[in-house]
A and B are shown apart, each in its own frame.
Chain A
Amino acid sequence: MAVVALKNVGKQYPGAASLAVEDFNLTTHDGEFIVLVGPSGCGKTTTMRMIAGLEEHTQGTIEIGGRDVTGVVPKDRDIAMVFQSYALYPHMSVRDNMAFSLKLKKYAKADINKRVEDAAEVLGITPLLDRKPRALSGGQRQRVALGRAIVRQPQVFLMDEPLSNLDAKLRVDMRAEITKLHRKLGVTTFYVTHDQTEAMTMGQRIAVMKDGVVQQIDSPNNLYQQPANVFVGGFIGTPAMNFLDAAVANGTATGPDFSLALDAARREVAGTRERLHVGIRPEHLHLAGNEADAQSLKGEVEVVEPLGALTMIQVRVGDTKVTAQIEPHQQVEMGDTVALTCAADKLYLFDTESQDTLIGIDSGVADQPAA
């Protein structure tokens, strides 16, 4: 267990024009579960590999448990890593896979057996100990990979998209198990994923990255309520936030086929701006019925997706596709013209130029972006 501190960490690949990771700053709490999330190529895996020591960082410092690990080889960093491909040794049994690192450290045989068996017990893979990896299912291999990491009792766990090779149902199960395991072991964990649902459900804090730059590091709720900018707003939450380009006049944001009255707080942050990006989450949009409303978006329904518990509809408002989440009993057909409404305090406002958040929901003005 240890505090991991990344200070101005950057990575420049030789010959590359721009930095793969730029000015990454993060200090974990002891035993914290940090998720690195972002689209492909955003630098999340590179960041993790720098913590592991598989890639050298070219700028800044990385500290693990107060020790600067610059130039320290992976095996001396006291970390364990779970790979996307699992990277189990195919020619070794499950037991030998898990015992490999302990054998290299010349632990006593009884000690190795005890640790391996304890870890197998925790993960429910005791009956598989004498099998070879090829005789295991994807989920079982995943468990063995986790087991190989936990027998080490390292200071830090690094997990690189460990669930992305599993089918959807198993992924949800393993997600919960990894969270439970983390709570039980209390080891500082870095977890890389491109799946924002995984990030939201697992992370105590989430670092959202784009093009090598951290956009925001915050708790799941804060990311949802107070995204730092348009990118984070759009990346966090499913279905994604709707964005409307609006003109502001007389305390109202208007555009083709929509008109949204701003409340006092929003009028204040809008200031003298004449244009704004308005963000509305699908779950905050409701069918307005026929009554004329100051808050309304009108358009033709293009897609209806019943999901059972709720129904998603896509409405064309002006040139923009707007997704709304409605109750399943509300009958809407493709081709209908509907009016949608949204409470004034559920509007996110973003600066058109800088794309930064002016105001989120629930708690006043958004913090300054972390990066």
Chain B
Amino acid sequence: MSAQAKRFSGANIAFGVLGWAVALLMFLPLIWLLVTAFKTEAEAFTVTPQLFFEPTLDSFKAALAQGAGYWHYAWNSVFTALASTVIGLMLTVPAAYAMAFYPSKRTDFTLVWMVSTKFIPAVGVLVPIFLVYKTIGLLDNVWGLIALYTAMNLPIMIWMVYSYFRDIPKDLVEAANIDGASMGQTMLKVILPLATPGLASTGLLALILAWNESFWSITMTNYQASTLPVYIASFKSAEGMFWAKMSAASVLSIAPIIVLGWFAQRQMVRGLTFGAVK
């Protein structure tokens, strides 16, 4: 009874209403996107948005049509996201391990410096990177994109894994050293198994960031290496916006990552807040 009463207290109801209101506000664009995807182009263009209409799959059919190349872009997205995540983790683990368990005077500086590179707007380095890529022939190349994504995500990945490692007692490393483990054995057999949840959530975050990335994909690729954001943008043409088809394309593009995020959200929250509270 008392638990029931508590559940419906004034403050809780107020917080509930507020929570729903904020959620609605945040998800409105997504709802709009989803609704528009089921409209015809004519319905999507009306100035007063139509709330009631006959849903149609025409836009999806058009978006998945042979010429649109959905599967080509989707494959590029999957491949670049996965590859940059795997390569990123392989670089992250030793870097974070060294900084967490063998810190030097410059460790703190290095961490801050790495994150500070994220403060530079991507446009600021677009021209030099574009020219370098043009010279070495990495324009419109998936590996060029993977290299960019890996570099883009490394600072936050290292920072996350570092904070995970930092929460593992140093005594364990020392115990393993005394037990006769080499540095590699200590990392593989003692530390990594303990950090698996952290590595998983770091990997997930990198995957999502790489998947959502549009700036570099649009600027550095033409078709061969283009990912889904390019595909979505292709529905904006000189003749005008195809809102319904673009919405359908967007739904098709974000669906996989939303499904993945849904399953992984618990892991994600734990990963991002890990170490915040003892």
**A interface with B by C-beta (< 8 Å):** 52, 54, 73-75, 79-81, 83-85, 87, 89-91, 100-101, 104-105, 148, 152
Contacts and interface: CB of A to CB of B under 8 A. Distances in A.
A73 B178 CA distance: 8
B202 to A, nearest CB: 18
Interface string B167-197: 0010110111111111001000110011000
Interface of B is mostly: helix
A91 B179 contact: no
B171 A101 contact: no
11 contacts: A75-B181, A81-B175, A81-B178, A83-B171, A85-B169, A85-B171, A90-B194, A91-B194, A100-B181, A101-B179, A105-B180
B206 to A, nearest CB: 24
Contact of A75 (B171, B172, B179): B179
B2 to A, nearest CB: 33
B174 A75 contact: no
* Residue among A80, A85, A100 with the highest chain B CB neighbour number at 10 A: A100
Contacts of A91: 193-194
A74 B194 CA distance: 23
Nearest to B179: A101
Given A74-B178, A75-B177, A89-B172, 10 more contacts: A74-B177, A79-B178, A81-B174, A81-B178, A83-B171, A84-B171, A87-B175, A91-B194, A100-B181, A152-B179
Interface string B154-175: 0000000000000001011011
A94 to B, nearest CB: 14
Contacts of A54: 174, 177-178
Interface residues of B, number: 17
Contacts of B190: 89
Contacts of B180: 75, 101, 104-105
B194 to A, nearest CB: 6
A148 to B, nearest CB: 7
A104 B178 contact: no
Nearest to A73: B177
A27 B193 CA distance: 41
A74 B189 CA distance: 18
Contacts of A52: 174, 178
Contacts of B193: 91
Contacts of A87: 169, 171-172, 174-175
Contacts of B175: 81, 83, 87, 89, 148
A104 B181 contact: yes
Contacts of A85: 169, 171
Contacts of B181: 75, 100, 104
Nearest to B171: A87
A104 B185 contact: yes
Nearest to A85: B171
A80 B172 CA distance: 14
Contact of A148 (B169, B174, B179, B194): B179
Nearest to B169: A85
A79 B175 CA distance: 11
Nearest to A89: B190
A90 B180 CA distance: 18
Contacts of B171: 83-85, 87
A104 B179 contact: yes
Interface in B240-268: none
